[in-house]
Structure 1
Amino acid sequence: MTEPLWTPDPQAVEASNMTKFRRECERRWSVDLPDYDALWHWSVTEVEKFWDTFWDFAGIKAQVKGERVLADGDKMPGAKFFPDAKFNFAENLLSRRDDSDAIVFRSEDKAQKRLTWNQLYDLVSRLRQALAAAGVQQGDRVAGFVPNMPETIAAMLATASLGAVWTSCSPDFGVQGVLDRFGQSEPKVLFTADGYFYNGKTIESLPRVREFLTDLPSVQQVVVLPLIDAEPDCEMVAGAASLADFIADFPAQEIDFPQLPFNIPLYIMYSSGTTGKPKCITHGAGGTLLTQWKEHLLHCDAGPEDRTFYFTTCGWMMWNWLVAGLACGSTLMLYDGSPFAPDGNVLFDFARDEKWTIFGTSAKWIDACAKAGLKPIETHDLSTVRVMCSTGSPLVPESFDYVYRDVKKDLQLSSISGGTDILGCFMLGNPVKPVWRGEIQSPGLGMAVNVFDDDGKPVVGEQGELVCIRPFPSMPLGFWGDDTGERYHAAYFDKYPNVWTHGDFIAQSEHHGFTVYGRSDATLNPGGVRIGTAEIYRQVESFTEILESIVIGQIWDNDTRVVLFVRMQPGHALTEDLIKSIKTRIRTNCTPRHVPAKVIAVADIPRTRSGKITELAVRDVVHGRPVKNAEALANPEALDLYRDLPELQS
């Protein structure tokens, strides 16, 4: 493609936070940084100067910044940013105080709520006092089995204000899934809602809470947030208190934010857990704040006038990312429930009604809207939306076409990629660079992203392993319970010593953007040739007859053969002619190595609770191996569809 799909307006570029920051770096350090690429290169070679400048540019509130920006900067793991700083994470997210919207919430068509900045501050103040009275101290864990609602954000901020650690999962998790997570982190206090709404149904949470609490002895207090009932019945859970009762004795007052170490634990996040018990990834307060604030402020160009949305649950790191928008003074838009209830227009309706400016969602949702034939460009006024973000899986070129054709022509489509492991992005959008079809715009500032071949050598224009060759603030502090650090080191640093290996299979483009081809541990390897699964999905899911697909490598005849499973659109069948067309398209647009040996129709595709398809779990089932933690899946029953298939015996 010779022309970009979108080019930023020169006046907008000039007024952007990114340009202001670039010029501040030039002024402060007497360097010449003519464009973004120069700024990025400077940010990853002059790591200390970059983060020192960003701290001041963002206006981070801290009692002490300290002279040292980076200690042990030659060690990965082991590097520590701002080791002498003292600050409070929650204070930095609550600095705006007025009666405008801080949070606007919808739960399908069943519930709506608004909190002003002053109301949010007051609720955090009351919750903080109540948590302290319940014995929560620095380092204690507070858990949320919660929907994505305003009270959840307040509970997290109250926890962080005390120096305690927040951890959460969405309320659709089963009992064992909760225990696999909270059983490791051992929370002292548990927040739960009385229930939630999904796809038009009301689902109660308290029966499951009562069940898993019998095996979670660390919990000393349960607090029930009202969602399905204004006055929830808490008697189902022994000793539980409603939110109203929990904070009743604590009037709102000015918060005395203790100034805490920069690298104090803030969040415990969980890996998907499809290959065993989930890893408890522990993130520090300072690194999280620096990374996520940078991404909102510079890469999304966010500020006090923005109304920022991301479709997420509290079990996905995009919830933690979204909340950091408060640091920019942006209003958060929260949605809980199905994005297709009552129909696929529900998020577009919300965007139109509340004048969103930043619209974050998943690649799968964009694809589903395209397949459903939705054309909001004809039905919705989305004139305020200036950025659309997408993550969760690679955004295929055809989805870029759909957005610019059928959603909005003049927006910045930001495919972003990072993950739970770093609570941020390695590669993401950029308000001062064009959008090219099928590409992530740029590496993130301060992220020394590179592409390595199997020998650990950098490659350009070729597919390889996503690595980061210099330390960055949001590297995890470690894994909770991994006292020796062995599991943490093995997860990211064993393959290439002193280099972060992320586990994605990528390539860099001529525009200095990136394409993601899938997880490297799910990469196919027929005949010794590595193939990213995203390349196959792009071809297969362009067929209107196919709803979605999943592809694996099956060990066969001393090699690996490609096996493709497809889920058909209602009213369509997988015919021999369609199979032939699929193979021809893959052969023509990819390579003969990509062509599946088998194409099999299935009724469902297993996925994690954050909506990601689980290639590794399917691969294990096909090979007769046990799936170590099917409880981590949203639909574990789907695995049975892949067991002992006669089509795979020949």
Structure 2
Amino acid sequence: MSTATPIWQPSQSQIDASQMERFRHYVNDSLALTLSDYEQLHRWSTDHPDQFWQTFWQFAEVIGTPGQRLLLNGDKMPGARFFPDARLNFTENLLRYRDDRIALVFRDEAANRVALSYNELYHEVARLAHHLRHLGVVAGDRVAAFMPNRIETVVTMLAAASLGATFSSCSPDFGFNGVLDRFGQIQPKVLVAANGYRYNGKVIDCSDKIAQIADAIDSLQQVVVVPAFDAVAQVHHSLAIGWQQALDNPARSLSFTPLPFDHPLYVLYSSGTTGQPKCIVHGAGGTLLQHLKELRLHTDIQRHDVLFYFTTCGWMMWNWLVSGLATGATLVLYDGSPFAPGPEVLWQLAEQEEVSVFGTSAKYIAALEKAGYRPAEHHRLAQIKGLLSTGSPLAHEGFDFVYRHINPDLCLSSISGGTDIVSCFALGNPIKPVYRGQLQCPGLGMKVEVFNEQGQPLQQQKGELVCTAPFVSMPIGFWGDDDGSKYHNAYFDRFDNVWAHGDYAETTAEGGLIIHGRSDAVLNPGGVRIGTAEIYRQVEKVTAVQESLAIGQQWQDDVRVVLFVVLKPGSELTEALRQQIRTTIRANTTPRHVPAKIIQVQDLPKTLSGKLVELAVRKVIHGQAVTNTDALANPESLQQFEHLPDLQC
């Protein structure tokens, strides 16, 4: 029985107008069922995954033929195959609209703006696809993008996918070795790259790096250079041509190669912070169905909406955002820092572009709060009906901040999934209430449970987040993993025939989920498992602390909790501040959560998508090598953690 009070509740009119509610009625009418609420709809979707995905295919009017067989080996993970006889083309579904509604808007720090209609986007994709075909790009080839979040990146993906080529992207803040660790494994035939990008008020020249990459990857037949900045040097390489040169052809129409459901669409990469990144291959059909489900049902994106997500092309949320084209909505792309020239930049964008669904990270919301910036005091934001947060767990105080200082009447969706599934296990829901600190629900078709270490289901207790039935967006496998052993070991080695995702979580009485951090970063003092997010939530309440990172240090035959803190400018880690941090943690958690050591550092290591890298810090303080620092945005920060005197006593 739930005793929590919702922080937001949809009105009956909001519920009735939602696509989730329309889908529930569609299922009942189509299959003569009487599903009365989301819980029953979800149970049906996981008990009958073949019926669910077939019915959603029809509801979403997916372009393609599903075939007669819906699911093979439905009791096996890995091994299950959805729609084995289906034929479809990913790009054809994303370009179903070809009218004058704006499809893409590009904005950057310098207030530059470019817009493209659905009709213009279609013809731009047609011209690039014609060029790629002329180069000899065919189904199964790879096309890579070393690009900022620009319109040309979207055009490249759509052109490649129209031919059946597999697309892969890295953001331009990756170092040379980081790019080579990724693209070098998949051997692309074509590279599309921007000559520079803008971040924090500066233009960063990428021309030399592009030439280096072109020299290092033998498979490349051409490098198409996007002239993002006139002032940046040209790329001098025998394989390089300009973007406009590639589009300089009379192609008027686009042909769509029909492909199998599991045809490789994307290669995404694990963070690579503990070794060479894994190349995770995702299929076109599963990605399309899963994204359409999440965008239309769980986020309620409709044709009139404007969708924005703050992301780079090195994070799976870019792939998720771009699938929004299939809904006919307008997508807003942003390149730059979310705090340049100041904290107002994304909210000014949201107001000017009339963004109705705003996506960001929990870290960004926490940073806004720390900066004391209250968006609703400066901008008209009533049009925002949904706000999405991911990347790390959103603290309870983050929920309060959104409703107090952004918009009191929106569906705040803390969502969780990952690169591994190019989608989410837990999502928002426009027909359910929002509770502080909770992800609203498991996604339709996702049989999400929480297991203890023995593989037994837990209710409202902390444990391993797992999925106990196959789902459409499971990876096809890992690139180069011919026998499937690496894929199996990554997700199915822990529990037989069960996907173990690596998150530490618990279910709630309200039907939602709480994520307590990554399970490989779980602290274990005295044998008690503690999620790092439980500590971060409390530390965020301490005004002087900018951000923090907790690890477990092996100490005297046990584990002790060590907390590293970055303080706001002008603050000092006095004994009084240490005591305030400890008291705040103890008062709201347990004595086990209180760190044995609190140490000030200048910076914390993060991935290029902004996630804290707890494992790398733990390795450094235990004298172990961090083998792939190119995966970090700030690898130099690791040097602070070497030979710290405070850790020797």
Query: Where do residues 117-156 of structure 1 align in structure 2 (5 Å cutoff)?
Result: 117-156=118-157
Alignment of 1:351-390 (within 5 A): 351-390=350-389
Residues 199-278 of structure 1 mapped to structure 2, 5 A cutoff? 199-229=200-230, 234-248=234-248, 250-278=249-277
Judge conservation of contact 1:89–1:161 (CA < 8 Å) in 2: yes
Report the equivalent of 1:525.
Answer: 524
Question: 1:577, 1:233 → 2: CA distance?
Answer: 53
How many Å separate the matches in 1 of 2:367 and 2:587? 25
- Contact 2:210 / 2:235 at 8 angstroms: preserved in 1? no
CA contact 1:194–1:229 (8 Å) conserved in 2:
no
Quote the Cα distance in structure 2 between the aligned partners of 1:237 and 1:481: 29
Q: Which residue of 2 aligns with 1:96?
A: 97
- CA distance in 1 between counterparts of 2:524 and 2:5 reads 34
1:190 maps to: 191
Change (3 A) 1:512 1:235: closer
Deviation at 1:238, TM superposition (A): 2.5
The question of whether the paired residues in 2 share the 8 Å contact of 1:123 and 1:252 is answered with no
Which residue type is aligned with residue 145 of structure 1? Answer: F
Counterparts of 2:73 and 2:389 in 1: how far apart (Å)? 35
* Equivalent position of 2:538 in the other structure: 539
1:11 aligns with 2:13: yes
**Distance in 1 between residues matched to 2:159 and 2:265, nearest whole Å:** 12
After superposition, residues 478-557 of structure 1 pair within 5 angstroms as 478-557=477-556
Asked if 1:23 corresponds to 2:22, the answer is no
8 Å CA contact 1:540–1:546 kept in 2: the answer is yes
Counterparts of 1:577-616 in structure 2 under 5 Å?
577-616=576-615
Equivalent position of 2:295 in the other structure? 296
347-356 or 205-214, which deviates more: 205-214
Output the amino acid matched with 2:176.
V
After TM superposition, the structure 1 = structure 2 runs for residues 297-376 of structure 1, keeping only pairs within 5 Å, are: 297-376=296-375
Q: What is the aligned partner in structure 2 of residue 49 from structure 1?
A: 51
Question: Any idea what SS the aligned residue of 1:25 has?
Answer: helix
Aligned partner of residue 160 in structure 2, secondary structure: helix
Opposite residue 588 of structure 1, the aligned amino acid is A
- Looking at structure 2, the residues matched to 110 and 190 of structure 1 have their Cα atoms a distance apart, in angstroms, of 28
1:234/1:241 contact within 8 Å kept: no
Which residue in 2 is equivalent to 1:407?
406
Count of aligned pairs between the two proteins: 647
> CA separation of 1:581/1:235 partners in 2, compared to 1, >3 Å: closer, same or farther?
closer
Corresponding residue number in structure 2 for 1:67:
68
Contact 2:266 2:281 survives alignment (8 Å): yes
The Cα shift of 1:226 comes to 2.3
SS of alignment partner, residue 450 of structure 2? strand
Does 2:178 align with 1:171? Answer: no
Determine if contact 1:190/1:221 at 8 Å carries over to the other structure: yes
Q: Is the 8 A contact 2:462 2:505 kept in 1?
A: yes
Q: What is the Cα deviation at residue 234 of structure 1?
A: 4.1
- 1:235 deviation in Å? 4.6
| 1:290 alignment partner AA | L
Taking structure 1 as the reference length, the TM-score comes to 0.99
Give, in angstroms, the shift of residue 211 of structure 1: 1.6
- Tell me which residue corresponds to 2:278: 279
The answer to whether the 8 Å contact 1:465/1:520 transfers is: yes
Letter aligned with residue 593 of structure 1 = R
Paired residues of 1:143 and 1:168 also in contact (CA < 8 A):
yes
TM-score normalised per structure 2: 0.99
Deviation at 1:86, TM superposition (A): 0.6
CA distance in 2, matches of 1:108, 1:115: 19
Letter in 2 for 1:611: G
- One-letter code aligned to 1:594: H
Shift of 1:611: 0.2
Give the partner amino acid of 1:269. L
Instruction: List per-residue Cα deviations over 1:461-482 (Å, max 9, x = no partner).
Output: 1000000000000000000000
CA contact (8 A) 2:97 2:118 kept: yes
* 1:28-84 Cα deviation digits (max 9, x unpaired): 22221110011001100011110010000000001x220111111111001111110
CA contact (8 A) 2:207 2:233 kept: no
Per-residue deviation at 1:216? 1.1
Q: Which amino acid in 2 is paired with 1:208?
A: K
In structure 1, stretches of 5+ residues that fail to align are none
Provide the C-alpha distance between the structure 1 equivalents of 2:157 and 2:221, rounded to a whole number of angstroms: 17
* Residues 334-355 of structure 1, C-alpha deviations (whole Å, 9 max, x = no match): 0011000100110000000010
**One-letter code of the match for 2:609?**
S
> Could you tell me how far 1:239 is from its partner in structure 2?
2.4
Question: For the Cα contact (< 8 Å) 1:163–1:266, is it kept in 2?
Answer: yes
CA shift at 1:393, angstroms?
A: 0.3
Q: Distance in 1 between matches of 2:647 and 2:588?
A: 26
Give the secondary-structure state (helix, strand or coil) at the position aligned to 2:216.
coil
- Partners of 1:12 and 1:26 in 2: how far apart? 20
1:235, 1:329 → 2: CA distance? 36
Q: In structure 2, the residue corresponding to 1:553 is in which secondary structure?
A: strand
* Residue pair 2:145, 2:170 contacting (<8 A) in 1 also: yes
One-letter amino acid matched to 2:192: F
Cα 1:317–1:95 shift into 2, 3 Å: same
SS in 2 for 1:236: coil
**Alpha-carbon distance between aligned partners in 2 of 1:434 and 1:223, rounded to the nearest angstrom:** 48
Q: Measure how far apart 1:213 and its partner are.
A: 2.3
The 8 Å contact of residues 111 and 227 in structure 1, kept in 2 or not, is answered as no
- 2:181 maps to 180
Tell me if structure 2 keeps the 8 A contact 1:359–1:385. Answer: yes
Q: Do the aligned partners of 1:206 and 1:237 also contact (CA within 8 Å) in 2?
A: no
Once the two structures are TM-superposed, the CA of residue 233 in structure 1 deviates from its matched residue by 5.7
For 1:258, the aligned partner's letter is T
* Alignment correspondent of 1:624: 623
Q: Deviations over 1:392-439 (max 9, x none)?
A: 000000000111111111111100000000000000100000000110
* Alpha-carbon offset, residue 209 of structure 1: 1.0
Equivalent pair of 1:363/1:392 in contact (CA under 8 Å): yes
Query: Using a 3 Å threshold, how does the CA distance of structure 1 residues 235 and 560 change in structure 2: closer, same or farther?
Result: closer
What amino acid sits opposite 2:103 in the alignment?
A
Q: Deviations over 1:374-405 (max 9, x none)?
A: 11111100121100000000000000011111
Shift of residue 110, structure 1, vs aligned partner = 5.1
| Residue pair 1:234, 1:242 contacting (<8 A) in 2 also | no
The residue type paired with residue 52 of structure 1 is: Q
Maintained 8 Å contact 2:123/2:252: yes
Q: What's the CA shift for 1:229?
A: 2.3
Deviations along 1:446-490, whole A, 9 cap, x unmatched? 000000001100001100000000000000000000001000000
Contact 1:604 1:638 in 2 (8 A): yes
Query: Do the aligned residues in 1 keep the contact of 2:46 with 2:446 (CA within 8 Å)?
Result: yes
The one-letter code sitting in structure 2 at the alignment partner of 1:321 is: W
Encode CA deviations 1:272-331: one digit per residue, 9 max, x unaligned: 000000000000000000000100010011111010010000000000000010111111
| Matched AA of 1:246 | A
The gaps in structure 2 that reach 5 residues or longer are none
Question: What SS does the aligned partner of 1:404 have?
Answer: helix
Question: Which moved further from structure 2: 232-241 or 5-14?
Answer: 232-241
SS in 2 for 1:214: helix
Q: Which amino acid aligns with 1:11?
A: S
Distance in 1 between the 2:103 and 2:112 partners?
17
Q: 2:438 & 2:104 partners in 1: Cα distance?
A: 32
